[in-house]
Structure 1
Amino acid sequence: MPPRVPAIAFIGGGPRTAGVLERLAANRPDLFDAPLEIHVIEPYQPGSGRIWRYDQSPGLLLNSTAADVTMFTDDSVTCDGPSVQGPGLSAWAAGVLDGSIRDVPPLEPHLLSQLRALTPSSFPTRQLQSKYLEWFFGRAVSALGPETTVTVHRDTATGVERSDGERSGVEQHSVRLASGAEVIADVVVYALGHTDSAPDDETARLSEFAARHGGFHAPPSYTTDVDYSAIEAGQDVIVAGMGLAFVDLLVLLFEGRGGRFEERPDGGLDYLPSGAEPRLWAGSRRGVPYHSKISSTLSSPVERPRYFTAAVVEALLALHAELDFRAHLWPLIAKDAGYAYYRELFTGYPERVVGTWAAFESRFDALDWYSAEREELVAVSVPDPALRLDLEKLDHPLSGCAFADHESVQRSVAAYIQNDLDLRTGPDHSETLALFTALLYVYMDLGRLVPQERLNARSQQSIHGWWHGFFSFVDSGPPSHRLREMLALHRAGLLKFLGPGMWVRADESVGRFVAGTFQSPVVVDASAYIEARLPSASVERSANPALAELHDAGLGTEQRLLTSEGAHSTGKLLVSGNYEILSPVGIPQKGLFAVGPWTSGWGAGAFARPNTNAAPFRENDALARRILATVAATTQSLQPN
């Protein structure tokens, strides 16, 4: 009998799976140079998957420029496998146009127009990104070579169970599909990307309230998957959340309903309504949108972290059994952010500071970020208080503000947005770009330098919660023109601001949603309420049948942290440092792996900036090598004695 060919099944076929496939191809010659079967189970187009699929509004954009997107593990990536150079999105687009990249299916005319207009600093549409991701998936499959067969199942996995090995001689896994078919595999990789969750009790209560009173409630969801057709022209709508999901919502409810933006001769922006738009009342915890992306240029490159380094982290690990994020790590991160910010301020705008950078740097090096001496140094060296970096104020810009009335809220939020645009899109505030870059470097290095198991529970909670939220607020905001559009909608009377500290309740006495904030007396009511954010991670309540079944069968569990305030579940699937799924008692589930934002790992995205030693590529390489080692061990066990 011919030898049995080992099989790997991927549940989910989006960009994360494509990245792992590329790493399998790169590492196979060294670790498993033999025939292999791979199954990719994905109901949407493989490569792009659900989130990045082509079939969504053509007005929705990436919040990254074309130059900042690649799927290739370039030679900046610190990993055991070989690097593979390849075009990022910007270079791919140029290659498609000049014919040097030929293995791309014919593109629709509007996509060809986008390719011609694309520059490295453009923010591409998600439709265009879908084509890049699908092309990359095809390239990764080709790179696996003729001895590897890749079968794509346009289906949904509903569960996984261990088989008895009767047919194969070793224990395998049976992946059940919604169609009734099954896939037998030695290794199963859950790579599901962002998943939905079944409503929790509060969300279900709000939806039931809206249905009972003839209203509308959209729970946390991927924005483009929600049907907003029930929202009528002129209707008041309460919106909670002002992040990226909110930006997408504005696209769908305004330009998506026929309105358009028009540049004024003075450089301003007007919104010309179609008459089909609702009126939104938006608020959030901070009360302001994410910071704009930055278009300035640095006077000198930002260096890699100077204080949050491998040597410093190793010294901390030697001193402490457990690290505390706030006490041990955050002061170093803050100081790195401050160093980059002030270096750019001194070197780029010497007229705004007192003294030289060399003198400031020598004193700054010796001081703790949270020290009176450091604050005194900055106060003496930077005369304008508005130019002094206050990370807490940056995080909560309207904290402590008491608004007297509705108009003061509108003025304050609109002025904040305009000031953000002035700082981040003007030519003379590149210190904001230095801060952005320093935080990006630390964000990418955190998972590489700090073993998650060496953090106390409170710190793991802080990293998954506050730190990720702060980084996203400062570094993962929308293109600047989206904030200009918000101001235009505001001037048109179609977007009103509720401010920070937002609350919403369902009022049975009037059968409507009521919203306000803790910092102003403004209260509004509406029959429609949209929660503009992605659902919180929850394996236990996952709307994905395979993930829910994994939990219900006792094969996987949510990550639970025991803090001084009691037990806390992150809602994420508990995995080991090797991406193996862990049982409720912490035992690795042989042959079952998981990676992505809904796991207890560091949760890096699926693609990243080129030449940045990006975390997702390091993870993909480590996971691919672990999978190949597992497959090799399985094959070895089948060899005759």
Structure 2
Amino acid sequence: MPANIPAVVFIGGGPRAAGVLERIAANRPDVFAGPLEIHVVEPYVPGSGRIWRYDQHPGLLLNSTAADITMFTDASVACDGPAVPGPGLAEWAAGVVDGSITGVPDFPRQLWDQLGSLTGTTFPTRQLQSQYLEWFFRRTAKSLGRSVTVHRTTAVDITTLPHGPHEVRLANGHILRADIVVTALGHTDSRPDAASAGWSRFAARHGGFHAAPSYTTDVDYSAIAPGQDVIVAGMGLAFVDLLVLLMEGRGGRFEETSDGGLRYLPSGREPRLWAGSRRGVPYHSKISSALRGQAPAPLKFFTASAVEALLQRHDELDFRSRLWPLIAKEAGYGYYRELLTGSPERSGMGWEEFASRYSGLDWYSTARADLVAAAVPDASLHLDLERLDRPLDGRRFAGLEEVQSAVTGYIEEDLALRDSRDHPETLALFLALLHVYMELGRVVPAERLNAGSQQTVHGWWHGFFSFVDSGPPPHRLRQMLALHRAGLLQFLGPGLEVTADEATGMFRAGSPQSGATITASAFIEARLPSTSVTRSLNPVLASLHRNGLGTEQQLLTADGIHSTGKLLVSSRHQLVDAGGTPQATLFGIGPGTSGWGAGAFARPGTNAAPFRENDALARAILTVARGLATKPPATMSPEPAAVGKN
């Protein structure tokens, strides 16, 4: 019998799929060098996909600098496959400019201008990032030879045939035979939850405006009138994008003032935004300082051996009581190492003495607090992670004026700490938390966490890390202050509560910590839609659920069964079917799965979690393909598979 050529179908062709493809190419000589048939189904441009596509407002930026972005699995990545070095975004841009990197399109003038001015510290536009991602995909596809076929359409259904392979039905009518399917769907849309759906119906009844959680750049805000009051729930990265679209996107502009400040010059078409959230403040600014003290070292407390010791003593681990104290201690160790070795004038104790005593103390012990007080006389420099997470907790405000003062003061202080050469300890904290975030999925088996802790990891821990480490460029916070001074952005405070008043047809919003409220006919939920397989608007996720090939992750907690909304995958990224069985030839990866997940691209030299996951998944796919290649060809579906670029 002739050898079977395994067919692998990727549903989704964004940066995460491109990363797995690169790892397939790198691992083929070691795992399976035989012929493969690879199909990538992606309605947008492969590489950038929907989220990172070029067709976005040119003012939208990444929240990482160019030096912190790479798609290449470098030598720092602890994986079984070989490292394949390549240019990060900054090196790629320089190579395009000097001609050493080829295979790029004829860019429009504004992108050439960005390429020419880009440095490692630049926060690049998403349009420029799209071109790097698309170049990476083309480069990877070329390395796989003629194996890769791209289908510029949407997958709408997956079924498993009686004789084993799968069929993937496409929106253009074609059907692909697939021995192996990889869902790499990225961020997807879901039908609004009950609360958001109710608000949309309320707005429709009363002639108002409501935007449910969505991707900011995909929402039509044209119904919002100039000068209209708009309540905004959420002050994270989606809120930053919203400011770009509703302010500069409507013709306004910022200008530097003679004293180095920033002024906003309105066009007159902007609405007035009233913003609040659970914390009541925007995400922390990205950091512009450089370390002055000892270089960061490997993790000392949150280590594989420390976690293994916990696993030996406990059947299940509780994140808050067992893991978080180690994480907090690790964060503090990095923070105080930089403070004491990089700014000795601020210290009352040498680092060696501090480190020796600190190592034996629990983070939440009085002895640790006393040690910090002796080593760092300035109490304002003491690291309080709870206060960092909820900076306005416990404060009462006499009214909206006090709220404005508190939030603007918070933003100004955050900029002084994080966008200044004077406080490199904030960078040390950033790096320590990043290292822990990347290590968590490697050293902690998800199945050994109790159900409540799995919720905590996907909820609070991810939110805390994003708040501290994944905030906007510092100039975005300066722009918020300028918009506030221009009267176009007001703050509602923490613990935001929004209600709908049928009698007036208006939304009402306020903070219980101030008691003050405002009313408006427009309400925007400035956050991403929550992941949900059962409410998904993605036809493939709906198909997986309908056909029993995939299911939502369910957690049994003390409060009952809780669904995370995520597509359940095994530790090997295999889809788990409705009966609870991992499937050998169906895989899922990305933010919508129950895997740890850590983005699609990362900082170079950080042993980045997504690159480790990509390598492990690629080797799993190739191992399955190697086994399939030795079997007789499966009976083909009567409808031919698609070929070429559709």
For normalisation by structure 2, the TM-score amounts to 0.97
Match of residue 58 from structure 2 = 58
Shift of 1:405: 1.1
Instruction: Determine which of 157, 182, 189 is the counterpart of 1:196.
Output: 189
Which letter maps to 1:35? P
CA contact (8 A) 2:262 2:479 kept: yes
Match of residue 77 from structure 1 = 77
| Residues 309-318 or 85-94, more deviating | 309-318
Instruction: Determine which of 152, 155, 167 is the counterpart of 1:154.
Output: 152
SS at match of 2:198: helix
Distance 1:543 1:455 in 2: 30
Distance 2:297 2:224 in 1: 49
Which letter maps to 1:311? S
SS at match of 2:475: helix
SS at match of 2:150: strand
CA contact (8 A) 1:42 1:49 kept: yes
Match of residue 237 from structure 1 = 230
Could you give the per-residue CA deviations for residues 176-227 of structure 1, whole angstroms, max 9, x where no partner exists? 1112211111001000001111112221111111111111100000110000
Shift of 1:380: 2.3
CA contact (8 A) 2:3 2:630 kept: no
Match of residue 270 from structure 2 = 277
Shift of 1:2: 5.3
Distance 1:448 1:386 in 2: 35
Match of residue 642 from structure 2 = none
Which letter maps to 1:151? T
CA contact (8 A) 1:12 1:191 kept: yes
Distance 2:380 2:209 in 1: 42
The alpha-carbon distance between structure 1 residues 59 and 639, as it changes in their structure 2 partners (threshold 3 A), is closer
Distance 1:161 1:562 in 2: 29
Could you give the per-residue CA deviations for residues 561-615 of structure 1, whole angstroms, max 9, x where no partner exists? 1111221111101100010000123201231100000100001101101111100
Could you give the per-residue CA deviations for residues 517-556 of structure 1, whole angstroms, max 9, x where no partner exists? 1100210111100000001110110110100111122111
Is residue 119 from structure 1 mapped to residue 119 from structure 2 by the alignment? yes
Is residue 371 from structure 1 mapped to residue 369 from structure 2 by the alignment? no
Instruction: Determine which of 418, 443, 446 is the counterpart of 2:440.
Output: 446
Instruction: Determine which of 398, 407, 419 is the counterpart of 1:425.
Output: 419
Which letter maps to 2:16? R
| Residues 55-64 or 564-573, more deviating | 564-573
Match of residue 398 from structure 1 = 392
Distance 2:174 2:359 in 1: 62
Alignment of structure 1 residues 509-524 onto 2, 5 Å = 509-524=503-518
Distance 1:557 1:2 in 2: 36
| Residues 513-522 or 89-98, more deviating | 513-522
Could you give the per-residue CA deviations for residues 64-85 of structure 1, whole angstroms, max 9, x where no partner exists? 0000000001111111111100
Which letter maps to 2:226? A
CA contact (8 A) 1:304 1:438 kept: no
Distance 1:500 1:301 in 2: 37
CA contact (8 A) 2:4 2:631 kept: no
Match of residue 220 from structure 1 = 213
Alignment of structure 1 residues 569-580 onto 2, 5 Å = 569-580=563-574
For normalisation by structure 1, the TM-score amounts to 0.98
SS at match of 2:596: coil
CA contact (8 A) 2:349 2:374 kept: no
Match of residue 347 from structure 2 = 353
Which letter maps to 1:55? D
Which letter maps to 1:22? E
Which letter maps to 2:103? D
CA contact (8 A) 2:96 2:102 kept: yes
Match of residue 134 from structure 2 = 134
CA contact (8 A) 2:404 2:490 kept: yes
CA contact (8 A) 1:66 1:119 kept: yes
SS at match of 2:615: helix
Match of residue 643 from structure 2 = none
Distance 1:331 1:67 in 2: 32
Shift of 1:318: 1.4
SS at match of 1:637: coil
Distance 1:283 1:368 in 2: 35
Distance 1:447 1:562 in 2: 21
| Residues 14-23 or 582-591, more deviating | 582-591
* Off by >4 Å, runs of 4+ in structure 1: none
Structure 1, unmatched stretches of 5+, are 166-170
Identity %: 68
Which letter maps to 1:570? T
Could you give the per-residue CA deviations for residues 385-427 of structure 1, whole angstroms, max 9, x where no partner exists? 2110000000000000000011100000000000000000111
Which letter maps to 2:511? T
CA contact (8 A) 1:537 1:572 kept: yes
Instruction: Determine which of 594, 598, 601 is the counterpart of 2:588.
Output: 594
Match of residue 261 from structure 1 = 254
Which letter maps to 2:203? A
CA contact (8 A) 2:44 2:50 kept: yes
Shift of 1:245: 0.2
Match of residue 640 from structure 2 = none
Which letter maps to 1:252? L
SS at match of 1:612: coil
| Residues 408-417 or 357-366, more deviating | 357-366
Distance 1:250 1:152 in 2: 36
Distance 2:16 2:437 in 1: 19
Match of residue 91 from structure 2 = 91
Number of residue equivalences: 633
Match of residue 26 from structure 2 = 26
CA contact (8 A) 2:551 2:576 kept: yes
Shift of 1:39: 0.6
Distance 2:250 2:454 in 1: 42
CA contact (8 A) 2:76 2:607 kept: yes
Is residue 567 from structure 1 mapped to residue 526 from structure 2 by the alignment? no
Match of residue 161 from structure 2 = 163
Which letter maps to 1:324? D
Distance 1:597 1:68 in 2: 20
Is residue 469 from structure 1 mapped to residue 463 from structure 2 by the alignment? yes
Distance 1:254 1:320 in 2: 53
SS at match of 1:513: strand
Structure 2, unmatched stretches of 5+, are 635-646
The alpha-carbon distance between structure 1 residues 554 and 347, as it changes in their structure 2 partners (threshold 3 A), is same
SS at match of 2:159: strand
CA contact (8 A) 2:41 2:152 kept: yes
CA contact (8 A) 2:161 2:167 kept: yes
Which letter maps to 2:160? R
Match of residue 101 from structure 2 = 101
Shift of 1:376: 1.2
Match of residue 45 from structure 2 = 45
SS at match of 1:448: helix
| Residues 390-399 or 339-348, more deviating | 339-348
Distance 2:6 2:376 in 1: 64
Could you give the per-residue CA deviations for residues 408-460 of structure 1, whole angstroms, max 9, x where no partner exists? 00000000000000000111111101000000000000001111111111111
| Residues 473-482 or 545-554, more deviating | 545-554
CA contact (8 A) 1:198 1:541 kept: yes
Distance 1:162 1:552 in 2: 13
Could you give the per-residue CA deviations for residues 281-301 of structure 1, whole angstroms, max 9, x where no partner exists? 000000000000000010132
SS at match of 2:147: strand
